[in-house]
Amino acid sequence: MNIDRNVLNEQNLKKLEALNNPHVLKIVEEYVNLCKPSKVTVITDTKEDINYVRQMALTTGEERTLAMKGHTVHYDGYSDQARDKANTSVLVTPDMKMSKVINTKPREEALKEVYGIMDGIMKGKEVLVRFFCLGPLHSRFSIAALQITDSSYVAHSEDLLYRTGYEFFKTLNGSDDFFYLIHSAGELDERGNCKNVDKRRIYIDLKENRVFTVNNQYAGNSLGLKKLALRLAISKANKEDWLTEHMFIMGAKPKGKNRITYFTGAFPSACGKTSTAMIPGQTIVGDDIAYLRMGDDGMAYAVNIEQGIFGIIEDVNPVDDPLIYDVLTSPRELIFSNILINDSKPYWLGMGSDIPGEGYNFSGEWKKGNTDKDGKEILPAHKNARYTIRLSELENVDPKLDDPEGVQFSGVIYGGRDSDTSVPVFQSLDWGHGVFIGASLESETTAATLGKSGVRNFSPMANLDFLVVPLGRYIKNHLEFGRKLKKTPLVFSTNYFLKENGKFLNEKVDKKVWVMWMEGRIHNEYEAIETPIGLIPKYTDIKDLFKDIFNREYTLAEYTAQFSIRVKSFLEKLDRIDSIYKEEDEVPQEFFDNLNRLRQRLLDAQKKTGKDVIPPADFE
């Protein structure tokens, strides 16, 4: 290799050569010579190498130890606290079709720019060459991934979140069938944070299965294996007849029954995704990204591409999230980011206990009342503060987390947020209708200061931010995936945010009842009422579930308020969805057929009953 031996010594060179992969050697050589680090360290799967990364994060100051054994904290820069959508682009050539909703840049122009930024960006730094496997090892789901990074925090985070893959790379037998990801935090300030955030760039190059991410540290931007590789896998899946989805995977275990039923679920941000995946008494396989494939038996299977959680910590408390809270407050290896530290102890928003009025946080030394340069009050911890742990640390982790076959899933849940339209839970009429439900997902945000009840953000399959194929093709592939299965999973919709007179009609914990009804529907244990929007529960079944699960009386008045069909609101939603998809190319006619049939069913029911809000009893 044409790399200075003072930069890449013989020991590390031998580690690379042992892979017998000329493509890996070429990539490492190209980017080491471009970025010009002072040292290259190749990390294998050994405990010694993994521990080297963890210690390096402490030595460089990217992480600090806390009072609890195994706990460390990392701080991103004040303006580097979330995914940078504006500077995240898919690189396209003139022949590549993309939806209008996808942020793109001309490929040659973007490559020239990012190569210019990367020239010498790692001077004086040690770079780590990492190897990982997305999905369980030695599985039909497995995808190899190489990341080159000058951040030991990023590398340490990856050890918690992903399965090691150095030995797995040897099984490629010299193939170039892997993703690769180049990251640099760039020039750092006195706090060890990125100085040149104005030159932050996150570019996804589908033609080469690679990602460039520079001048950032926040894990959502810097961990190439996180949402960045999600985009590469979406592209790969759409060429190979499987699906890459922004989905959790959970196992539902009904009380008194010796079975487990697996669900996948897609929820936009702040719609209840993690809390659904972590319902007490159930199991979790994954909370973020899933690969879905048809098995040899013709059934649908899913795996979590990760082995850990990079979770939002705000509002994690002993009442609402007891399992996670226990993990975060007991000795084990974990990384906090962008929280408040006082006396070497961590504090975050909504943790259920008092927060000190001073300490150290993402802004530096902090006191209550501090403001930023714009005069805005600085919170004690960032609202997007995070924790990073291995899933194996959770007592409810599913035993099939690392099963190379994945888990056979029988249900798909699409969860949105709206205050005035959808019922808490309903089932689609068939697979095509279910795909329509997922493709019509919306997430409502409050905007009280503007005098509006809410603004609805369109988010098909909760995957809009990560799509790298035309929306029409993405919908078509979902339809075809279900059609080729021997038995199609049932599709459900949930909405935990329905309101009346400004008050929520559901309690936070009620989602367990909705999940158990869905689980029972899969096993033909409950009948349902057919309505224009789909199949809703019968009152007696929901009443019994509330009594059995919570020992709570569930009244007919509650049921009627929650499960009435709000025709006018649904028709308004259909108009919004119709106008969006009419702007897209190659949307399958089946999608519009489902939309038009739903609209007609709603209009027919409205005409028949003379009501804009139709109670469930009118459909029985």
6-34 confidence digits (pLDDT tens):
999 999 999 999 999 999 999 999 999 99
Catalytic residue (choose from 35, 133, 194, 271) = 271
Model confidence at 451, pLDDT cuts 50, 70, 90, reads: very low
CATH 3.40.449.10 in the chain is located at 10-62+83-240
Give the other-Cβ count within 10 Å of 355's Cβ.
Answer: 17
Model confidence at 377, pLDDT cuts 50, 70, 90, reads: very high
Residue 490 confidence (pLDDT): 98
Alpha-carbon dihedral angle through residues 10, 13, 17, 18, given to the nearest 10 degrees:
80
* 371 DSSP assignment: B
The answer to whether the beta carbons of residues 563 and 500 sit under 8 Å apart is no
Strand partners, 179: 145
Please determine, for residue 449, whether its predicted confidence score (pLDDT) is greater than 50.
no
CATH 3.90.228.20 in the chain is located at 245-307+401-619
* Token pair recorded at residue 186: 């760039």
* 116 DSSP assignment: H
Q: Assess whether 133 carries a catalytic annotation.
A: no
pTM for this predicted structure: 0.94
Q: Which helix (H) or strand (E) element contains residue 109?
A: helix 107-118
CATH 2.170.8.10 in the chain is located at 310-393
Cα angle for residues 133, 285, 479 (degrees, 5° grid)? 85
With a pLDDT cut of 90, the percent of the chain lying above it is 85
Q: Which numeric CATH code is attached to 245-307+401-619? A: 3.90.228.20
Residue 454 confidence (pLDDT): 65
Please determine, for residue 447, whether its predicted confidence score (pLDDT) is greater than 50.
no
Beta strands in 401-554 (DSSP E): 407-416, 425-427, 442-447, 452-458, 490-495, 499-500, 503-504, 528-531, 534-537
What is the Cα–Cα distance from 139 to 113, expressed in whole angstroms? 37
Average pLDDT, the chain: 94
* 580 DSSP assignment: H
Q: Which among 491, 492, 500, 475 is positioned nearest to 418, based on CA atoms?
A: 500
Please determine, for residue 330, whether its predicted confidence score (pLDDT) is greater than 60.
yes
Q: Which helix (H) or strand (E) element contains residue 602?
A: helix 589-609
Tens of pLDDT, residue by residue over 74-85, are 999 988 888 888
Model confidence at 483, pLDDT cuts 50, 70, 90, reads: very high
What is the Cα–Cα distance from 575 to 509, expressed in whole angstroms? 32
Tens of pLDDT, residue by residue over 530-581, are 999 999 999 999 999 999 999 999 999 999 999 999 999 999 999 999 999 9
Rg (alpha carbons) of the chain, rounded to whole number: 25
> How many helices (H) does the chain have, and how many strands (E)?
17, 35
Pairing of the two strands 425-427 and 490-495: antiparallel
Q: For domain 310-393, which architecture applies?
A: Beta Complex (2.170)
Contacts of 542 (CB under 8 A, 6+ apart): 513, 517, 554, 559
Higher-pLDDT residue of 190, 117: 117
What is the Cα–Cα distance from 341 to 377, expressed in whole angstroms? 18
Residue 445 confidence (pLDDT): 67
What is the Cα–Cα distance from 394 to 417, expressed in whole angstroms? 28
Q: Which numeric CATH code is attached to 10-62+83-240? A: 3.40.449.10
The answer to whether the beta carbons of residues 397 and 286 sit under 8 Å apart is no
DSSP string, 191-257: TS-BS-GGG-EEEEEGGGTEEEEES--SHHHH-IIIIIHHHHHHHHHHHHT-EEES-EEEEE--TT-
Pairing of the two strands 88-92 and 104-106: parallel
